[in-house]
Every structure is written in C-alpha cells, then in structure tokens.
Amino acid sequence: MTLRPAAPGHGIVFRRVDAGADIAALWRNTADATLCTALSNGEGIEIKTIEHVMAALAGCGVDNALVELDAAEVPAMDGSAAPFVALIDRVGTVAQEMPRRAIKVLKPVRIASGPAHVALLPDHSFSMSFEIEFESPVIRCQEMMLGFEPDTFKSELSRARSFCLADEVERMRAAGLARGGSLANAIVVSGDRVLNAGGLRFADEFVRHKLLDAYGDLYLAGGPIIGHFRGSRSGHAQTRMLLAALFADPSAWCSTTLAEPGTLWPPAMVARGAALAHAAGD
C-alpha cells in the first residue's frame, strides 16, 4: 500500500493498481462485509478493511490523498491505526488553499439493529461515546466518551488494536476469514486471559478500538462531522447504516466550511510525498 498526495477537492480515493479501479472513500460506495468496512465500485472490484487507514487519515487531518493497493485488502499492520499515523507524521502534511468541508448534524438521527444502537446528535464540535458489553471476564462492560482536540485521536485511540475471542478464531478461519490474523495484529482473549505477550496497551483498549473503528467509518461522510456520535454494542454495519440515514434526510445535515479551522480542525491537508505501509518497521 502507498499513500500519495492529491489536489484540493480530490478527497480520499482508493486505487486498485492490480485491477485498474478507483473508488472514492464515501459511504455510498460501501459494500456488505463481515467484520470490516469495504468499498466497491459496483462492478466486482472491492477494497476491504479500510477503517484503520481511514481513521488515521481523519486523525491526521488529511482531506486529500490517493491510497494505492495491489490487492483487495489494506495491510493489517499491528491491528491499530498507529502505524499509518506514524507514516503520515514521518512524511508530513501541508495546508492547501481550500477551506475544509465539514458535515454539520442538524437533528438527531438514530439506528437500532437488535441490541445495537447508533446515533448522530447535534453538537457544536465533534465528540464520541461508546459502550460495549461482552460475556468475556476480560472485557465485560466498558464505556468511554471523548471530546476531540487536534491530538485526541493520536493519543487516545490510534494505538488501540482489533480484538477477538480465541474460540471465534477457528470459526472465522473455517469461513475463510482472518486467515492472516495472529497475535501480531490483534488482541486475542481466551477465558480470563489476554494471550498477547505484551498484554493490553490500555485497560479499556477494547472500547477504544470500537471508537477507532467508528471514527474511521464516519470519515466516509466525505469530511469531518460536527456533532456527537453515540454507539452501543454496534459495529461497522450500523455506522454505515447511520451515515446512509443521515444523508437520506436533507433536513438532518448541512454542508459547511470551517472558516477558522484552528478553532476546531486543521486546515485542509494533504499527505506530503509517499508513505509505504510495508515500511512501517523500517
């Protein structure tokens, strides 16, 4: 995978160099997928597991970039967004001569799907809250709320890794999923133990990762959101449904520009140079 700079107004676009297809990272281009977020061009070409790199781009304030891939899935890295953030920070970003486009939530939008609930609520800035509940004694109930300043994502969420229960691994592999999964790119919980040698990066790393995933998925709105996101026992599918519901109601949102970006977000940014994802450990 290679991250390349792009011109103002370009947005985030994924390119399958092996298939000759470009797909804009927008909610309307998402496809049904299991345990991840995927884009589709509607003609059989897909790009899977985009949520972590999308979260990194959002957290670094990158509005315009070309993400080149030679396969159908974004590299797993360590299961978090931190390696992507490190690469973007390494090459740097530049402000572009164009105000940032943002999506302002004007009225509550809610989606319920079984025990899962998600909502977008009006607010003066961007914030998130999430709660999870698992039978696992290691995870149990966790909740977190964050108000976002420029470095909040990097310090509070970017290092939180994907997680799974050990008894789920074999079922997923039998279904053709997570074949590249290992302790190197996910937290694995077995009974009352975390199997990873280094343990957890945060005591509540599980809910932090759910926030990270939602943060990346929300960037499929096409820009930063001004409002509050609330999630409860939800996942990628519910967040995609929430964006679809938001944009289906013209009275629920408006497009705006951030005339004073320093008060809320950085100016429009683009990655400088090219960052190679496979070089994260170099």
Catalytic residue ranges: 236
With H, G, I as helix, E, B as strand and everything else as coil, classify residue 25: coil
What residue type is assigned to position 201 of the chain?
A: R
Rounded to whole angstroms, how far apart are CA atoms 196 and 191? Answer: 13
Question: What is the rounded (10 degree) CA torsion for 22, 236, 247, 218?
Answer: -80
DSSP state of 208: H
Comparing CA positions, the residue from 62, 60, 59 lying closest to residue 13 is 62
Give the CA count within 13 Å in the CB-facing half-sphere of 33.
24
> Alpha-carbon distance 76 to 183, whole Å?
12
Q: Which is nearest to 36 in space by CA: 186, 225, 156, 174?
A: 186
* Whole-angstrom distance, CA of residue 28 vs CA of residue 14: 14
- Residue 74 to residue 68: CA distance in whole angstroms: 9
The C-alpha atoms of residue 169 and residue 235 are separated, in whole angstroms, by 18
- DSSP character at residue 109: E
Q: Answer yes or no: are the C-beta atoms of 249 and 103 closer than 8 Å.
A: no
Q: In the beta sheet, which residues pair with residue 255?
A: 103
Nearest residue to 161 (alpha-carbon basis) of 78, 48, 54: 78
Nearest 5°: phi and psi at 9? Answer: 85, -5
